[in-house]
Amino acid sequence: MAKMLRTVTLAEKILFKNGSKIIANNWALQLQQSRSLNVHEHISYTLLSKAGIQVPNFGVAKSGKEAKEIATKLNVKDMAVKAQVLTGGRGKGHFKNGLKSGVRMIYSPEDAEKDVSQMIGQLLVTKQTGEAGMICNAVMVTERKYPRKEYYFAVMMERAFNGPVVIASSQGGVNIEEVAEENPDAILYHPIDIMKGLSESEGEAIASKVGLADKKCEIAKMLCDMYNLFIEKDALLIEINPYAEDTCGNYFALDAKFRFDDNASFRQKELFALRDFTQEDPKEVAAAKFDLNYIALDGNIGCMVNGAGLAMATCDIITLHGGQPANFLDVGGGATADAVKEAFKIITSDPKVQALLVNIFGGIMRCDIIAEGIIAATKELKLKVPIICRLQGTNVDEAKVLIANSGMRILPIDCLDEASRLAVKLSNIITMARSAKLDVQFEMPL
């Protein structure tokens, strides 16, 4: 499985703010949770370059010595070193060793060696990472461009348009979000018929509308190359911001973000092999090995559910009763007892978890298999948090017998509303006890 992204791209923010104004039937745009592969900037540069879209010359260094060699080969005075960390706000971030900014301007190979040596192996802290930061294992060394004019172009899959849409603006750069909010007319949306693709004439029309009529053939080719790459690589998003004109009148993609559909991993093996596990939550990586869909959240009630819809409904009902889910975890329809045990390990590895709510509706999934996994995990992990178990469906009676005979203090509840209410109540008890520095434990053996 690829990385589950919890951040929202610029393209999604733009659509969320302004989409309803341009969709004739006024459908409500909703941000969808989806599993997708996010790649480093240098990979985006490589993909764009291979597709015929110009990018600045660059190289990737994993040591100060390599950075110096790359800077020497670039043979230019103005360069930038950019930490390859999968987070936004790198330029305004800082490393835990005191080095300021994950994007630094340099003017010599010696500068490159010095700065990169202080970046590699360090944690970069940004608004998105929080204080924990994210490890920097590579740095992109690139020639620096001085943009005279910046534009914004994106191709993304958007269900509100029943397919891909091109988003474009003559006001690209770091302030594109403000442009979308304060001057929505400056954002152009062009839905694409996925059966026909993007034509040159459509590309030329988009170029003219963003003020590039004198370069419409060049921009149309870039947009068609961008769209073809989007389709070829099963992308969900290709976002170039800024697409800039330099002082010599040449156009370059100075920054880009890609997302790829996780469902296409079987035919994009080379691309998905580029996944950087060091940039991901270890719990999500462990879950992916067992085909578990796991997303860490900020609450204290661990959830194990089968089916994404039921999992989201479970999170909702916990919130309705005043609690906060600690995770989203969908074990799917064909989980084994071992997968269930692994799910418990992942959930309880989060120190915030103070109660566990299991909500299974057994269709394909058998309730007795779930029960076996719960019992095995409870014994092996020696859990000391309350487990509330709501099972319905296939072999539910057998599951109840297994739980009753297990000798474990697992609380079976038939009603989801009651189960959620109890999970919230027990988690609150533990929270209050811990705030009073009292040790409350729910011993599993009876």
For residue 255, say whether it is annotated as part of any ligand binding site.
Answer: yes
At the top level of CATH, the class of 281-436 is alpha beta
What is the residue-level pLDDT of the chain in tens, covering all 446 positions? Answer: 334 334 456 676 666 556 554 444 444 444 444 456 888 999 999 999 999 999 999 999 999 999 999 999 999 999 999 999 988 888 889 999 999 999 999 999 999 999 999 999 999 999 888 888 999 999 999 999 999 999 999 999 988 888 999 999 998 887 777 887 888 888 999 999 999 999 999 999 999 999 999 999 999 999 999 999 999 999 999 999 899 999 889 999 998 889 998 889 899 999 988 888 888 777 877 787 777 888 888 899 999 998 888 999 999 999 999 999 999 988 877 767 788 888 888 998 888 899 999 998 887 778 888 888 888 888 888 888 899 999 998 899 999 999 988 888 889 999 999 999 999 999 998 888 888 877 766 655 54
3-state secondary structure the chain: CCCECCCCCHHHHHHHHHHHHHCCCCCCCCCCCCEEEECCHHHHHHHHHHCCCCCCCEEEECCHHHHHHHHHHHCCCCEEEEECCCCCCHHHCEECCCCECCEEEECCHHHHHHHHHHHCCCEEECCCCCCCCEECCCEEEEECCCCCEEEEEEEEEEHHHCEEEEEEECCCCCCHHHHHHHCHHHEEEEECCCCCCCCHHHHHHHHHHCCCHHHHHHHHHHHHHHHHHHHHCCEEEEEEEEEEECCCCCEEECCEEEEEEHHHCCCCHHHHCCCCHHHCCHHHHHHHHCCCEEEECCCCEEEEECCHHHHHHHHHHHHHCCCCECEEEECCCCCCHHHHHHHHHHHHCCCCCCEEEEEEEECCCCHHHHHHHHHHHHHHHCCCCCEEEEEEECCHHHHHHHHHCCCECEEECCCHHHHHHHHHHHHHHHHHHHHCCCCCCCCCEC
Q: Determine how β-strand 79-83 pairs with β-strand 103-106.
A: antiparallel
- Give me the catalytic one of 204, 239, 342, 372: 239
The whole-number pLDDT of residue 443 equals: 58
The whole-number pLDDT of residue 254 equals: 92
For residue 90, say whether it is annotated as part of any ligand binding site.
Answer: yes
Smallest Cα–Cα separation from 228: which of 50, 14, 55? 50
CATH superfamily of 57-143: ATP-grasp fold, A domain (3.30.1490.20)
CB atoms < 10 A from the CB of 58, how many?
Answer: 19
Which residues, 6+ apart, have CB-to-CB distance to 174 below 8 Å?
Answer: none
For residue 91, say whether it is annotated as part of any ligand binding site.
Answer: yes
Among this protein's residues, is 152 annotated catalytic? yes
Return the structure tokens found at 119: 């970046």
The whole-number pLDDT of residue 6 equals: 40
- The answer to whether 31-36+147-273 and 57-143 have equal CATH topology is no
For residue 364, say whether it is annotated as part of any ligand binding site.
Answer: yes
Selected from 3.90.1150.10, 3.30.470.20, 3.20.20.70, 3.40.640.10, the CATH number assigned to the domain covering 31-36+147-273 reads 3.30.470.20
For residue 241, say whether it is annotated as part of any ligand binding site.
Answer: yes
Q: Where along the chain do its domains lie?
A: 31-36+147-273, 57-143, 281-436
- Give me the catalytic one of 45, 152, 227, 294: 152
Among this protein's residues, is 239 annotated catalytic? yes
For residue 89, say whether it is annotated as part of any ligand binding site.
Answer: yes
